[in-house]
């Protein structure tokens, strides 16, 4: 039985596993609206294609899109560098590519949930550049600058956070906690039980 199904049957509250809230819902939503305004100003009168990186960016993308007031398209890519836990495997895999979207000459905005080591984006950026977009900019909700191993030029950052493993608002631990409306730090007992 997976951890998920144990939680369903035991009526466990996800909030009980959170040690503390790092960014509350109101603060998150306020910043997402600000980012939407910045993006709308930057790309006003221009073509815009948002590429959201699954699965972690999905809640952020949905709220951000509603805060962007200019016309834009959306596509998804999925990458994986984590094997369900907290430690990066170091290898970045493309699990899902864009759906027939031609990037040539487009203004592409890559939407990430969090930049940690920088390995995912440093792998993805050259791959997308080979498709000759007019430009490729990076927007991340969260940034952990202390964890960076590979340099990545980031254009917009929602919040810089300390070196702590966070969940909620799309970010998971073992595929759970994505539905929490805030960014929180897990109690160490949660990952000690499962790792």
Does 118 contact ligand IMP by CB under 6 A?
Answer: yes
In the range 38-97, which residues lie near ligand IMP by CB under 6 A?
Answer: 56, 81-82, 88
Neighbour order of strands in the sheet with 18-23: 18-23, 183-186, 166-167
Would you call 16 a catalytic residue per the annotation? no
Cβ distance to Mg ion smaller for residue 107 or 140: 140
CA trace torsion 132, 154, 121, 165 (10° rounding)? -160
Does 143 contact ligand IMP by CB under 6 A?
Answer: no
Q: Is residue 65 within 8 Å of 51, Cβ to Cβ?
A: no
Which member of 23, 48, 109, 113 binds ligand IMP (CB under 6 A)?
Answer: 113
Footprint of Mg ion on this chain (CB under 5 A)? 53, 56, 113
Determine the Cα–Cα distance for residues 85 and 66; give it in Å rounded to an integer. 31
Per CB under 6 A, the segment of 38-46, 67-75, 115-123, 128-136 that binds ligand IMP is: 115-123
């Amino acid at each position: 039985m997976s951890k998920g199904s144990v939680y369903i049957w035991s009526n466990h509250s996800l909030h009980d596993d959170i040690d503390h809230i790092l960014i509350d819902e109101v603060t998150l939503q306020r910043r997402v609206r600000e980012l939407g305004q910045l993006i709308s100003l930057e790309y006003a009168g221009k073509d815009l294609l948002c590429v959201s990186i699954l699965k972690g960016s999905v809640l952020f993308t949905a709220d951000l899109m509603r805060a962007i007031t200019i016309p834009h398209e959306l596509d998804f890519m999925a990458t994986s560098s984590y094997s369900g836990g907290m430690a990066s495997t170091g290898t970045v895999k493309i699990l899902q590519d864009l759906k027939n979207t031609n990037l040539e000459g487009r203004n592409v905005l890559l939407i990430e949930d969090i930049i940690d080591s920088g390995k995912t984006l440093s792998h993805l950026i050259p791959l997308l550049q080979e498709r000759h977009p007019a430009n490729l900019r990076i927007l991340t909700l969260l940034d952990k600058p202390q964890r960076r191993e590979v340099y990545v030029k980031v254009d917009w950052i929602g919040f810089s956070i300390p070196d702590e493993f966070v969940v909620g608002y799309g970010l998971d631990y073992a595929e759970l906690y994505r539905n929490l409306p805030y960014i929180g730090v897990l109690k160490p007992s949660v990952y000690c039980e499962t790792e």
